[in-house]
Structure 1
Amino acid sequence: MEEKDVVRSLAALAQPARLQAFRALVVAGQEGLTPGALAEALGTPASTLSFHLKELANAGLVSQERDGRNLIYRAAFDQMNGLLAYLTENCCQGAACLPAAKPCGC
C-alpha cells in the first residue's frame, strides 16, 4: 500500500460518523448493509450517511453494489488489511509483539 493511500484511508476514518459506519460494515461482513439499514443502526439521517459513505468509498474502504433497487455497501477488507499491514509492518523492530495481531480472515 502506498503512503498516499494510507493517508487517504486514515483521513476518511478520522471522523466519528465515518468510523462508526465503517465498523458497522466490518461487523456485517460480506453480506453488507443497505444505506437504510445502516442509517437506522447508527441513528444517522440518510443524507448525512450518504456523504460519509461517499468519503469512505473515495478512500477505498467501502464498496457498493446494486442489488435490484437496493445498494449494498460492504467494507473493503483487502484495503482494511492492507492499511493494518502498513501500520504494523515494522512493529517492534521485527520482534514478536504481544499480543500478536491476527489477520482478518474475511
Structure 2
Amino acid sequence: MEKKKARMAMSALSQETRLAVFKLLIDAGDAGLAAGAISETTKTSPTAMSAHLAILSQAGLVKSKKVGRKVIYRALPRVADELADFLRNISGSDARP
C-alpha cells in the first residue's frame, strides 16, 4: 500500500461514526447494507451519512452499487488488511512524510 492511500484510509477511519460504519459493513459481509439502513442503525442523519460514506468511498474502504432505488454499500476488507500490513511493516524511514 502506498503512503498516500494509507493516510487516506487512516484519516477516514479516525472519525468515530465512519469507523462504526466500516465495522457495520464488515459484519454485513458481501450482502452489504443500504445507505438508509446504515443511517438508521448509526442514528446519523441521511445528509451526514452521505458525507461519511463519500469519505469512506474516496479512501477505497467501501464500494457502492445502485440496486433499484437503493444504494448498497459494501466494505472492502482487503484494503483494511493492506493497511494493517503497511503499519506492521513500516520502518523509521517509511514513517517520514
Instruction: Kindly report which structure 2 residues correspond to 1:67-78, keeping only aligned pairs within 5 A, or say none.
Output: 67-78=67-78
Give the Cα–Cα distance (whole angstroms) in 2 for the partners of residues 34 and 40 of structure 1: 10
Higher helix share: 2
Matching residue's letter, 1:89: N
Which amino acid letter does the alignment assign opposite residue 53 of structure 2? L
Do residues 14 (structure 1) and 14 (structure 2) align? yes
1:87 Cα deviation (Å)?
Answer: 1.4
Describe the superposition over 1:27-60 as per-residue Cα deviations: whole angstroms up to 9, x where unpaired: 1111100011111111111111000000000000
After TM superposition, list the pairs within 5 Å mapping 1:1-106 onto structure 2: 1-89=1-89
Q: Residue deviations 1:49-85, cap 9 Å, x none?
A: 0000000000000000111111100001221111111
TM-score of the aligned structures, taking structure 1 as reference length: 0.81
Q: Which is greater in Rg?
A: 1
Query: Following TM superposition, where does structure 1 have runs of at least 4 consecutive aligned residues deviating by more than 3 angstroms?
Result: none
User: In structure 2, how many angstroms separate the alpha carbons of the residues matched to 1:26 and 1:51?
Assistant: 19
Alignment RMSD, CA only? 1.4
Structure 2 Cα separation of the partners of residues 34 and 8 of structure 1: 24
CA distance in 1, matches of 2:89, 2:29: 25
Percent identity among equivalent residues? 38
Structure 1: which 5+ runs fail to align? 91-106
Question: So what's the TM-score if we normalise by structure 2?
Answer: 0.88
- C-alpha separation between the residues in 2 aligned to 1:3 and 1:23? 23
| Shift in Å, 1:89 | 2.8
